[in-house]
Amino acid sequence: MKNKNNKNFIIESIILLFIILIVNFIVNNYYQNKYNKIINQNINSIIVEIKNNYKDIEEEKLINIINSNDSKENNLEKYGIDINKVSSINRLNKEYKNRFYLSNIIIITIFIIYIILFVINMKKRNKLIDEVTKSIERINNKDYSLDILKNSEDELSNLKNELYKITIMLKNEAINKEIEKEAIKEGVTNISHQIKTPLTSISILIDNILEEKDMDPKIREEFLKDIRKTIDDINFLVISLLKLSRFDAGVIKFKKEKINILELVNNVKAKLNILLKDKNINLSIDIDKNNTFYGDYHWQLEAITNIVKNSIEYSNINSNIDIKVIENNFYIKIFIIDYGKGMSKEETKKIFNRFYKGENNDSNSFGIGLSLSKAIIEKDNGFIKVKSDVNKGTTFEIKYMKK
């Protein structure tokens, strides 16, 4: 295809050259005729003047004089004519031919230079086209390496640059798909493990109840309570996973309502009151009744509850958890502080990962609550970060910008 296009261009260029040469011939011929006409008019004027002043001169003699090649005197130089050299008309004819040949040589030379430059340029373009074609083939084969360091500023190089951008996009998309595949694979594995463990526990407890017909009623009741708790845990896991999947799918629409933080935290405390009493933890609340921000109350209650629950799990028995708020004209911050087991810096980097459970975490934890909280807070245009020191405690900081 490329050779055919080049061949067609050269043929068209040759046709154009012939047209230019013909036009050049016509133009030069026109000016030559014009010069001849001027000379003939001048000669005619001389003849008319001679005939008017010398009426006795014979017509035949005058014609012989004009057409004669003989000249006895060379006194015409002052009139611009040198009969010893070339006549004016012959000189003009010669100049016309020289000019005509020269103009044609110039045109042909320019044409040849143009063709040479065109061929050189087409070779470069064809080489670049081949590179782009090979790059596309590599992309089709999932090879996303593409060198743009040698690019110039012509349109094909710009095309290659755009192709490079597409390549980067496809490469990132491929990487993200692989990450998503691994995340899904890991998630399925984790979910399977998380559900398998409590189901196995339930199965063992039920087998014990069925096998020991004369089991002590108190022990049977304890077993049933354990089964009930395990079922609740599984229910919590499934509901949390469903919520996370809705976040991943982007189908959750958040409300924008004014939230009173003190009311929100009091409701969190009420939900976790049993856990607080079990470990005899004092939840201290330092929040002004006028501290508010805009968000979705239902989801914020879920997020804060999970974070406080995590703080309870990491806290020691007979300890404290503080919740306080800092507010200014630009943002509002909620701090949730415990003084318990704490975490290492490596753990704080992973604590929001799905299914991650820290070294000092409750053995009954599924490692999904904080991941859900982070998703909720960020979806509701907030920010969350954590600071912790081993055996000194952990601080969660939630920040909402004021609009």
pLDDT in tens, 13-51: 777 777 777 877 777 777 777 767 777 777 777 777 777
Q: Is there a domain that residue 29 lies in?
A: yes
User: Are 9 and 121 part of one and the same domain?
Assistant: yes
Which of 14-23, 126-135, 210-219, 291-300 has the weakest average pLDDT? 126-135
User: Are 200 and 297 part of one and the same domain?
Assistant: no
User: Are 129 and 186 part of one and the same domain?
Assistant: no
**End-of-domain residue from the set 190, 225, 247:** 247
Total number of domains in the chain:
3
Q: Is there a domain that residue 322 lies in?
A: yes
Rounded CA gap, 186 and 202, in Å? 25
Which pLDDT score, from 0 to 100, does residue 121 have? 74
**End-of-domain residue from the set 247, 265, 298:** 247
pLDDT at 160 over 70: no
Mean pLDDT, the chain, as a whole number? 77
Partner residues linked to 335 by β-bridges:
324, 397
For 332, phi and psi rounded to 5 degrees? -130, 135
Rounded CA gap, 192 and 190, in Å? 5
Write the CATH number for 214. Answer: 1.10.287.130
* Residue among 323, 216, 326, 345 at smallest CA distance from 268: 323
Which pLDDT score, from 0 to 100, does residue 287 have? 93
Q: Is there a domain that residue 46 lies in?
A: yes
pLDDT tens for each residue of 372-402: 899 899 988 899 999 999 989 999 999 998 7
User: Are 271 and 224 part of one and the same domain?
Assistant: no
Which pLDDT score, from 0 to 100, does residue 346 have? 86
For tokens 């935290």, name the residue. 265
Which pLDDT score, from 0 to 100, does residue 158 have? 65
Contact status, residue 348 vs residue 370, Cβ threshold 8 Å:
no
Rounded CA gap, 245 and 252, in Å? 10
User: Are 238 and 328 part of one and the same domain?
Assistant: no
Which of 49-58, 317-326, 329-338 has the weakest average pLDDT? 49-58
User: Are 229 and 337 part of one and the same domain?
Assistant: no
Rounded CA gap, 381 and 376, in Å? 9
Q: What's the mean pLDDT in 161-176?
A: 71
Element (H, E) at 187: helix 155-211
Residue 190's domain spans which residues?
164-247
Rounded CA gap, 235 and 228, in Å? 10
Which pLDDT score, from 0 to 100, does residue 29 have? 75
User: Are 381 and 272 part of one and the same domain?
Assistant: yes
Q: Is there a domain that residue 150 lies in?
A: no
**End-of-domain residue from the set 199, 232, 247:** 247
Rounded CA gap, 221 and 228, in Å? 10
The tokens for 403 are 């609009």
